[in-house]
Structure formats: structure tokens, C-alpha cells
Amino acid sequence: MEFIYSLFKYSFLQNALIIGIIIGTVAGLVGSFSILQGTSLIGDAMSHAVLPGIAIAFLLGIPLYIGAGIFGILAASIIALITEYSPLKSDTVIGLTFSSFFALGTIIISQGHANAKLNDILFGNILSVSKLDVISSLVVSVVIFIIITIFYRNFYLSTFDKAFAKSQGINVTFYNQLLILMLTVVIIIALQAIGVILVTALLIIPPATARLITNKFANMIKFSMIIGALESVCGLFISYSFDWPSGPSIVLISAILFLIIFIFYRLRKIL
């Protein structure tokens, strides 16, 4: 009851609730394609690779998403370049890139005496989001929804049947790269709320949970979006009520729900 009362009283809590629902929904949407395409590791790489950009942006006093966007694009370009012109497999290149970028970002933060902000950058602070953060997240999410709605068939075929998609004249590589770009954008808008380390969990756990509930992809997307939104709201409640970091709270709720659904899934299979 105290949480509900505070929700009507404090604007910062209202902003946190709205952005939690937005991020949970759009992450569930994009994450559904990602886990079935096997590109979740790329999302994890992007979430770590943007840390230097966030650190530099924070020290310069400019919006964090600008630095994150620049270094996200830089990391994606480096991964594509090394994969193309070396015998190394993509997972090796991804691991090399995100660990190097993450180390660089940590050094920049420590040398710039921004350690007090380090916890918020790494683990998020959904209670500190502004109205501008909410508006920008909403705009980005609407754009992603429109793109996926218009090109749903192309994304669908590129995910499940690449050979057939190519025979239909669909540029599979383009749509795969577009999905990675949308993954990066979702990560950037979710950083303030979830943090660098844990943001990938919101792209993976809700779709994984939804996959255990249904075998139909359209239903999986719907369940994933609903689950992502609900987990964000519950995580916000836990974070505010017990003064826990917002990112870990949301991920913990997500993991508990996944475990519960997994137990019911196995019982159903056994029976």
C-alpha cells in the first residue's frame, strides 16, 4: 500500500514505472527473435562494449546514450571486420571485443573519479530516470514496433528458414544486421534502469520463459512482452520497498519466474 501511495505522489516513481513497462515490453519483443536466431551473445557483447562510451559521456556531461551509441556501433564494426578478415569464429571475436571494451570502460571510470556512479552504470537505477528518458525510450520503442510490424514476415522467415527466405528475395543478412542494431538500441535505452551487466537478462529471460509456455512464435512474442513488463514492475516494487539496486531486483524476479515456469514445464512433460 505504501508503494501504491508513493506511486501517486512521486513523479520519479511514475517515470520509473512507465519506463520499466516500456523497456520490458520492447525487450521481450526483440529478444524473442534474438534467442531463436542465436544472437543473444551479441546482445551481451553490446551491453558490455558500450561501457567506455557511457563513461566518457558521463565525464563530459553529455547524454549517456550518445556515448553508448557511438561505442556500440564501433564494437559491432570491429566484430564484423575481424570475423570477415580472420579465421576466428564469431563467438571468439565477440568475447575478445566485449571484454576489451569493458576493461577500457572500467579504467576510464576509475581514472575519471566517477566511482560513485559506477554502481548505477553497472547495475542500473530505475528510480533516477527522467521524463526525457521516458519520452526517448517510448519513441525508440514505437519505431522498433513499427519496423517489426511492417517487416514481420521477413524477420520471421530470416529466423526460421533462411534458405526459403533467400529464395523469396529476402536479404537475410540485412535483416540479421537490423535485428542486431535494434538489440543495441534496446540495450542503450535500458542501461539507465537495468545497468550494463544485467541488461542482457531482460532480452533473454522473458523470451526464454515464454518459450516454455507455448510452441507458437506469435504467442511467444505476446507472452514475452507481457512477462517482460510484469517483471519490470515487480522488480521496481522490490527495488523501492527494500532499497535494492533496480537491475538486480528485476533480473532476480525474472529468474524466479523462469524457474517456476520451468518446473511446471517439466512436470507437464513427465505427466
Which pLDDT score, from 0 to 100, does residue 114 have? Answer: 58
Q: Is the pLDDT of residue 257 over 70?
A: yes
Q: Is the pLDDT of residue 95 over 60?
A: yes
Taking residues 255-265, report their average pLDDT. Answer: 95
Determine contact, residues 115/1, Cβ cutoff 8 Å: no
pTM: 0.85
Neighbours of 162 (CB within 10 A): 16
Which pLDDT score, from 0 to 100, does residue 115 have? Answer: 58
Going by C-alpha positions, the residue among 49, 68, 48, 46 that lies closest to residue 58 is: 68
* Domains, the chain, with CATH or none: 2-264 (1.10.3470.10)
| Range with lowest mean pLDDT among 42-46, 119-123, 143-147 | 119-123
**Confidence class for position 116, pLDDT limits 50, 70, 90:** low
Burial 109-119 (b: 16+ CB within 10 A, else e): beeeebeebbe
Using a pLDDT cut of 70, give the percent of the chain over it: 96
Q: Is the pLDDT of residue 1 over 80?
A: no
Cell output for 135: 519520452
Place of cell 514476415: 153
- Give the Cα separation of 53 and 118 in Å (integer): 13
